[in-house]
């Protein structure tokens, strides 16, 4: 028996969420006394694959095939289910990333497995029963889900499990799946990736702004603050609804739910729907000129003041701090 972890690559590189899922799967393998096998699909150099050993994988299955260059959930699902069977995996772990959300249900269906998506902690294991805590009601609550099927699939939320280096090493084996042409009916036409931008769900620091900024032309001060912090930028729903910022930046109950180490909210009053999307952030800073803004009630630190004065000063102070 083994634990299988799927590691997603972005143009041949593994990002933090890949090491997070390997660390997470390793912790399960240690508890159940199984070995950990990682599987990678697509063009990844051996040098990158062997890095996975340092997070606890003892074996890495490498699937390389021209047809699998781009992610297609149906095809990747078939491959991962096949690998899970050949490795006799009792748990399959992957990231609850945008692609993972389309992939995990397919793997689970093929394996008659229960799927816990959006896991935020390690499972509590007793025999064949796993209990998992996951965020529910858009972070307004947590639910404990019980999985009792023989095989289980767990999709782990980005930024919810700490990467742990084990100092181990892994053997790399090539894995040749049987490909079903019927699985390739989705054709990838174009991939646009802003390489200089930090992905919002994975960001450790998020600088977010709302209607208090008065208009899209004023976002320069937000971007400057984000840049000095190495942060992703985000916004409230009214801002994306007004097309001041793209929908992909909308954080909240009906947008993206984030859990960064630091969330800085500028000119956002703190409607319950917005708070639902940010409440699992470790530290929240609120800058708002209205001392009655509800956001202050859930913040760790606050400044009552005009964003147009406070934000540039904060950016300067951070620059000074970074250079000291």
CB atoms within 10 A of CB 214: 11
| Closest alpha carbon to 66 in 55, 75, 54, 56 | 75
| Stretch of 20-28, 37-45, 69-77, 207-215 lying at the interface with other proteins (CB under 8 A) | 69-77
- For other proteins, the binding residue among 253, 268, 270, 278 (CB under 8 A) is 253
Buried/exposed 275-313: b ≥16 CB within 10 Å, e otherwise: bbbbbbbeebbbbbeeeebbbbeebeebbeeebeebbee
* Structural contact between residues 249 and 274, judged by C-beta atoms closer than 8 angstroms: no
One-character DSSP codes across 16-28 = HHHHHHHHHHHHH
Residue 272, marked binder: yes
Continuous segment of H or E residues that includes residue 285: strand 283-288
- 309 near other proteins, judged by CB under 8 A: yes
- 225 near other proteins, judged by CB under 8 A: no
Structure-token pair, residue 129:
């029963």
- 26 near other proteins, judged by CB under 8 A: no
| Closest alpha carbon to 139 in 21, 272, 270 | 272
At its nearest, how many Å lie between other proteins and the CB of residue 115? 6
- 104 near other proteins, judged by CB under 8 A: yes
Residue 211, marked binder: yes
Residues in a beta bridge with 6: 39
- 229 near other proteins, judged by CB under 8 A: yes
Residue 271, marked binder: yes
- 163 near other proteins, judged by CB under 8 A: no
CA atoms of 279 and 281, how far apart (whole Å): 5
Residue 274, marked binder: yes
* Structural contact between residues 25 and 156, judged by C-beta atoms closer than 8 angstroms: no
- For other proteins, the binding residue among 58, 179, 198, 211 (CB under 8 A) is 198
* Structural contact between residues 268 and 253, judged by C-beta atoms closer than 8 angstroms: no
Residue 48, marked binder: no
- 251 near other proteins, judged by CB under 8 A: no
- 286 near other proteins, judged by CB under 8 A: yes
- 97 near other proteins, judged by CB under 8 A: yes
- 190 near other proteins, judged by CB under 8 A: yes
- For other proteins, the binding residue among 46, 137, 165, 169 (CB under 8 A) is 137
- 128 near other proteins, judged by CB under 8 A: no
- 297 near other proteins, judged by CB under 8 A: yes
- 288 near other proteins, judged by CB under 8 A: no
Return the number of the residue (53 or 201) whose C-beta is nearest other proteins: 201
- 294 near other proteins, judged by CB under 8 A: no
- For other proteins, the binding residue among 88, 128, 165, 301 (CB under 8 A) is 301
Buried/exposed 15-48: b ≥16 CB within 10 Å, e otherwise: bebbbbbbbbbbbbbeebebebbbbbbbebeeeb
Q: Enumerate the known binding-site residues.
A: 211, 267-274, 288
């Amino acid at each position: 028996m083994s634990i299988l972890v799927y590691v997603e690559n972005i143009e041949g590189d593994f990002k933090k969420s890949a090491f997070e899922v390997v660390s997470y799967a390793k912790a399960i393998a240690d508890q159940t006394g199984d070995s950990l096998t990682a599987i990678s699909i697509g063009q990844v150099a051996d040098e990158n694959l062997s890095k996975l050993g340092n997070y606890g994988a003892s074996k890495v299955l490498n699937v390389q095939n021209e047809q699998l260059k781009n992610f297609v959930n149906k095809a990747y699902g078939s491959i991962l289910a096949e690998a899970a069977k050949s490795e006799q995996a009792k748990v399959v772990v992957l990231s609850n990333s945008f692609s993972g959300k389309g992939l995990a249900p397919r793997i689970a269906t093929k394996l008659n497995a229960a799927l816990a998506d959006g896991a935020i902690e390690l499972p509590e294991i007793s025999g064949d029963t796993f209990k998992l805590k996951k965020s529910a009601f858009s972070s307004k609550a947590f639910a404990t889900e019980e999985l009792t099927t023989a095989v289980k699939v767990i999709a782990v939320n980005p930024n919810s499990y700490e990467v742990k280096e084990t100092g181990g090493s892994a053997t790399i084996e090539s894995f040749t799946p049987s490909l079903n042409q019927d699985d390739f009916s989705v054709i990838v036409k174009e991939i646009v990736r802003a390489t200089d931008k930090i992905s919002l769900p994975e960001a450790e620091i998020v600088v977010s702004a709302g209607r208090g900024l008065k208009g899209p032309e004023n976002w320069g001060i937000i971007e400057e603050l984000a840049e000095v912090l190495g942060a992703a930028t985000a916004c409230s729903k009214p801002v994306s609804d007004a097309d001041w910022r793209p929908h992909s930046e909308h954080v909240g109950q009906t947008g993206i739910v984030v859990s960064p180490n630091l969330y800085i909210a500028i000119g956002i009053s703190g409607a319950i729907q917005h708070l639902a999307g940010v409440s699992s952030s470790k530290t929240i800073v609120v800058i708002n000129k209205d001392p009655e803004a509800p956001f202050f009630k859930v913040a760790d630190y606050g400044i009552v003041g005009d964003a147009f004065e406070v934000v540039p000063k904060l950016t300067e102070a951070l620059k000074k701090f970074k250079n000291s």
